[in-house]
A and B are shown apart, each in its own frame.
Chain A
Amino acid sequence: MDFLNAIILLLNYIFVPALAYGSQLALGAIFVTLIYGILRFANFATGDMMSFGTMFTILFTWYFQSVGIGLGLLPTALLAIPFAIIFMIGYMLLIDKFVFKYYRVNKSPPVQLAMVSIGVMFVTQAVVRIIIGPSDRRFFDGEKFLIKAGEFKDITGLNEGLAIKSTQVITILVTVVLVSTLFWFLNKTKTGKSMRAYSDNEDLALLSGIDPKKIVMITWIIAGILATIGGALYGLDKSFKPFTYFNNMLPIFAAAIVGGIGNPFGAFLGGYVIAFSEILLTYAYKKFFMYVLPESMAPDGLIQLLSTDYKFAVSFSILVIVLLYRPSGIFKGKVL
């Protein structure tokens, strides 16, 4: 029984939250990796683009709520996301046309494009804050829990409860659907294959008649979809605050590089690597050992490897280690 309790404890505090957080990071990391693989620059506006998409989701959610359209048990935001994506794609294409295109056509070095993306970051951040303000916003509605801790205890008769938030399930389901569609698109369709070819060898791809304009446009469209959904899921699960989104850029970068930048599958796994290591290393295992070990050996301390203050630092340290020993990432980069 104690053993079961210990497992439920880990599921409740480590596995489920890490899986949801990892999915959110994974979507962002695929976004970073796509931009890097095809447009060839590190996009420092990542976090703010995600907050931009989330902002539209929130605005539409508010609109639907005000006219009384809802999804019942599910959050209204799910209905708002498709509309937000349309606006987000428009914004992405606009930015590309007025900002990034010039440097791409002139074949500027990647560093210059990264600098330009810092300009985009400032502007996007300003627009988001001017439109929706810098404060913390929650836009979740509908049924909050799929399984409540209390109910779980009553049903199973265990000491430990397992609480699963509906946002966590939605996050994981949406991520699975979205990512598998994306991989199907990249691996099976003609456009997807030409994107991979373009990422692999630009000159050769151009020679074989691939239209670069189309590739770039589709990249931005996919990026817009990923950014909006990733941002909205994070906002639903936690809350929306522009500054947090800006900060999320850092673990997202870490995930993309750990997985091997330019490699979407690596980025997808990288998200989970980062999320799990952040939570595993900062979780206090005292209760777990109390269940597993006999009473006489119960630990005194919290058995915490690192204090939760260093949550971010964990992912960055992993990144630094990976960069030093395997600069191309765990799953070798540039094989989009």
Chain B
Amino acid sequence: MRKNLNVIAAYSIMMGLIILVGIFQSWNIALSIFNLCLISAVMTMGANIQWGYAGLINFGIMGYTALGGLAAVLISVNPVQEAWSAGGLNILFSLFLIIGMVLAIRYVLNKYEKSKTRTYIIASIIILGIIIIRFVSEPGIEAIEEVDPAKTGFLGGFGLPIIFSWIVGALFAGGLAFVIGKVALGLRADYLAIATLLISEIVIAIIKHEDWLTRGVKNVIGLKRPAPYEVNLQQTEWFINLVEKFNSSKLSLISDLTERQATLNQFVIEGSSIFVKLCYSGLFLVVVVILLILTQKALYSPWGRMMRAIRDNEEAANAMGKNVVKQHLLIFVLGSAIVGIAGAMLVTQDGLFTPGSYRPMRYTFLIWVMVIVGGSGNNFGAILGGFVVWFLWIEAAPIGLYLVNLTTAGLDDTHFLKVHLIESVPYFRFLMMGMGLLLIMRYRPRGILPEKIEIK
């Protein structure tokens, strides 16, 4: 117990802060911060597995998040029959062609010795394949995108409950990570960072511009929800009774009947959105707890020890007969899959998929700040980092506004400096993140909750 005192203290402070937001701002804001903190926590757990356990640097988090989001769309949206009949065949045929291309390359790779001719053969297979696929797919794509472009214009998905997408998102992200890992993991640390960053940009470019699959920048809105809708809740009997019970003391103070009904309605509307958010919190909390148990178990298992050995001294681990390349690939896939879950969760919560919103600042670098600030190598630290940094990211603007008002209190309200500073309050969050990262890296390089390895 005593050993974990700092963990408990840190988490209590964090929870206290969120509760304070609930009391002073509103419970709605507090819960939406909390939900996004949970999603961030999942992302940081994924990044922490790669960086903290194995020392692999992955700046492609944004790409995996987006793939998770794409999974949410492909799983939950109902299939667009017209689009399928218009161009589905072409797309399926192109898919077969791609598979055929990959198999052909594999065959060539296995069959022939490494030589210049082999490289040329592979290159020609790829170029020829791309040209054929373009010819096959282009009419299909055009036909699909012409099907009611204002509403659909894409193939749609499978029409399954959106919860399944959390698993599929993990599979998508893991699959991408497998491909990237196969080609890029041999690179040195900083090259790997740049390569993954650029590959994630390519992924985003594809998601943004392949309208037949994702609707691109036209966004997909109104995704199915795992939680009830506010409008429906507001008309259900038991929910109204529940709200009445909760607020009975306040309601009994009002004597006038119509006024009482109006206040109750107000409470019901407010309560419904809080209730929906609580549903999400519950779902997310389950994911976080399951992942936390699994990652903790992995950390203290022989496998975790091996990962740390590889991280701390690759050559020595290799000499002890550990397959470094294979383990790196495994952990790269696992970590990315977890990030994919988070991406699907994010889209599930928002109920919409907006490819244009995926930017490296928010989805890659911020997650890295979370991991570093929280404490890499320590799951509790990484999760805490997700909470602290997301909390500051949201609350930076109010804090910045407060600071600006404080420092410019002597100035007139219309003074140009004050007006300018108040306008730029939203950017204080970047300043805060940067300063936070720099200070932590300098004075507490192992994070708020440093990695602690107990040798039993």
Chain A contacts to B: CB under 8 angstroms: 41-42, 44, 99, 102, 109-112, 114-116, 118-127, 129-130, 133-134, 246, 250, 253-254, 257, 307, 309-310, 312-313, 316-317, 319-320, 323-324, 327
Contact = CB atoms under 8 A, between A and B. Distances in A.
25 contacts: A41-B190, A42-B190, A42-B194, A110-B189, A111-B57, A114-B193, A115-B437, A116-B441, A120-B434, A122-B434, A123-B430, A123-B434, A126-B427, A130-B421, A130-B428, A250-B197, A250-B198, A250-B201, A253-B198, A257-B191, A313-B205, A316-B198, A317-B202, A323-B191, A323-B195
Contact of B431 (A130, A253, A309, A317): A130
A126 B195 contact: no
B442 interface: yes
Contact of B198 (A116, A119, A309, A320): A320
Given A118-B369, A320-B184, 4 more contacts: A44-B365, A116-B438, A119-B438, A307-B209
Contacts of A257: 191, 194
B199 A312 contact: no
A126 B434 CA distance: 8
Interface in B186-223: 187, 189-191, 193-195, 197-199, 201-202, 205-206, 208-209
A106 to B, nearest CB: 10
Contacts of A313: 201-202, 205-206
B47 interface: no
B380 interface: no
Nearest to B188: A327
B262 interface: no
Interface string B409-438: 000000000000101100111110111011
B191 to A, nearest CB: 6
CB-CB nearest 5 A-B residue pairs: A122-B434, A123-B434, A126-B430, A126-B431, A119-B437
Given A130-B421, A253-B194, A309-B205, A122 B189 contact: no
Contacts of B187: 323, 327
Interface of B: 57, 183-184, 187, 189-191, 193-195, 197-199, 201-202, 205-206, 208-209, 361, 365, 368-369, 372, 421, 423-424, 427-431, 433-435, 437-438, 441-442, 445
Of B190, B201, B369, B421, the most chain A CB neighbours within 10 A belong to B190
Nearest to A323: B195
B48 to A, nearest CB: 14
Contacts of A316: 198-199, 201-202
Nearest to B209: A309
Given A122-B433, A126-B430, A99 B424 contact: no
A97 B337 CA distance: 40
A121 B365 contact: yes
- Majority SS at the chain B contact face: helix
A114 B193 CA distance: 9
Nearest to B433: A122
A127 B372 CA distance: 22
Nearest to B194: A253
Contacts of A129: 424, 427, 430
Contacts of A118: 365, 368-369, 437
A123 B436 CA distance: 10
Given A115-B441, A118-B365, A123-B430, A319 B189 contact: no
A109 B189 CA distance: 10
Contacts of B423: 133
Contacts of A324: 183-184
Contacts of A112: 441, 445
B212 to A, nearest CB: 13
A161 B365 CA distance: 45
Contact of B437 (A122, A309, A327): A122
Of A109, A118, A246, the most chain B CB neighbours within 10 A belong to A118
B359 to A, nearest CB: 8
B190 A123 contact: no
Contacts of B369: 118, 122
Nearest to A325: B119
B372 A115 contact: yes
B434 A121 contact: yes
Contacts of A126: 427-431, 434
Contacts of A320: 183-184, 195, 198-199
Contacts of B428: 126, 130
Contacts of A130: 421, 424, 427-428, 431
A44 B59 CA distance: 11
Contact of A119 (B183, B201, B208, B434): B434
Contacts of A127: 431
Nearest to B436: A119
A118 B438 CA distance: 9
Contacts of B441: 112, 115-116, 119
A125 B430 contact: yes
A123 B424 CA distance: 14
A320 B180 CA distance: 10
Contact of A327 (B191, B201, B368, B429): B191
Nearest to B190: A42
